[in-house]
Amino acid sequence: MFDKQIHKNDFRLRLLLTNDCNRNCYHCLNDFQPKKPVHYLDFTVAKKVIYDYCVFMGRRAKIEFSGGEPGLHPKFKDMVLYAKQFLPTIKVNTNGTALKYSNLFNIVNKWHVGAMYPYRYMMKSINAQIQIVVTEKNLAILDAIVSYYGEYRIPIKLFTDFFSNKTSMLQKQIEIVSKKYPNYTIKSRYTGIQENRGKLCSDCNKKCITLKALWVFPDGTVSACPQKKKRSPYYGISQIIDAFKAHKIEESWI
């Protein structure tokens, strides 16, 4: 259930459109982002990196729009429509705000909703899943969360808390709840030091879920890892190639 290898040969483009957010979730996956000053990714920079990435990756291209909350970006819809010209699969990670763009429901292939709000009525009709970071704070209501979305047949993805020192206990509780509801679609991701690590990770012992990607930050800088402090402004496809080589991607990716 807790798969360390599930995305080992993916190399994605992760566009963090803004570090601004209209929620204050204690379980946020993007706690590595400073919240101030607020930035919004420049549309010109976004178009350039999207185009370069799609040229390099071809049919293996996978793009994710995230944040902060991507639905707050004034050019969010334009960026999604631009990316859709080049590849079939678009994913949006949102706290639910981006779901207001109902005219994108047939454009975005995957909506990952990462907040515990009553969006199940809307999520039922689109390709969406709920994403919950399981912490010691919400463990007591984990069963209620799973049943709330599961009874609507909405897929559920559970992450263990990045920063907890009780990861094994949280994983055990996820397994218990998952076995209780065998007819629901429940997945989980391993949180911890990953296998299939490239040279980028050689000196790193941080816990993560190792999304192998070029990360584009709201200020226009890029990095192959969101937890690395060294970033540089995006200037061209060579940065994408360098990020790809920094991760361990097996030959079979081609």
Residue extents of the structural domains in the chain: 2-120+160-166+193-253
CA distance 159 to 230: 27
CA distance 211 to 219: 20
pLDDT of 6 reads 65
Check whether 7 has a pLDDT greater than 80.
no
Closest CA to 201 of 54, 8, 34: 8
pLDDT of 5 reads 63
Q: What are 87-140's pLDDT values in tens digits?
A: 888 999 999 999 999 999 999 999 999 876 678 888 988 989 998 888 888 899
pLDDT bin (cut points 50, 70, 90) of residue 2 is low
Q: How high does pLDDT run on average in the chain?
A: 87
Q: Does 29 or 12 have the greater pLDDT score? A: 12
| Contact residues for 139 (Cβ-Cβ < 8 A; gap 6+) | 170, 173
Architecture (CATH level 2) of domain 2-120+160-166+193-253:
Alpha-Beta Barrel (3.20)
In sign, the C-alpha dihedral spanning 77, 81, 82, 87 is positive
Which residues of the chain form beta strands (DSSP E)?
Answer: 2-3, 12-16, 63-66, 90-94, 110-113, 128-134, 156-160, 186-189, 213-216, 221-223, 232-233
Q: What are 206-250's pLDDT values in tens digits?
A: 766 667 899 999 999 999 988 777 899 999 999 999 999 988 776
Hey, is 160 helix, strand or coil? strand
Check whether 31 has a pLDDT greater than 70.
no
Closest CA to 4 of 160, 133, 119: 160
